[in-house]
Amino acid sequence: MELLKDPSNDRVVKTLKPPPHRPLSRQLMYPEKLKNKPDWRLLLDHLLKEGRIAKDDLFKLVSDCNKIFKNEGNLIYLHDPLTVVGDIHGQYYDLVKMFDVGGNIETTKYLFLGDFVDRGSFSIEVVVLVYAIKINFPNTIFFLRGNHECRQLTSFFNFKDECIQKKTLSSRPLQV
For 138-154, the pLDDT digits (tens) are 999 888 765 546 555 55
Cα separation, 129 vs 96, in Å, equals 9
What pairs with residue 85 in β-bridges? 112
Residue 19: inside a domain: no
> Domain range spanning residue 60?
26-171
> What pLDDT does 173 receive?
41
Residue 8: inside a domain: no
Residues 64, 123: contact at Cβ < 8 Å? no
Q: What is Dmax (Cα atoms) for the chain? A: 56
Residue 2: inside a domain: no
pTM above 0.85, yes or no: no
Cα separation, 141 vs 92, in Å, equals 17
85: helix, coil or strand? Answer: strand
Residue 66: inside a domain: yes
Q: Of the candidates 128, 108, 112, 116, which has an alpha carbon nearest to the alpha carbon of residue 64?
A: 128
> What pLDDT does 149 receive?
61
What DSSP element (H or E) covers 84? Answer: strand 83-85
> What pLDDT does 107 receive?
92
Catalytic residue flag (residue 148):
yes
Q: Say how many domains are in the chain.
A: 1
pLDDT under 50: residue ranges of the chain: 148, 168-169, 171-176
What DSSP element (H or E) covers 56? Answer: helix 55-71
Residue 112: inside a domain: yes
Residue 4: inside a domain: no
Residues 110, 85: contact at Cβ < 8 Å? yes
Which residue in 46, 79, 89, 148 is the catalytic one? 148
Residue 1: inside a domain: no
Q: Domain of 128: which CATH number?
A: 3.60.21.10
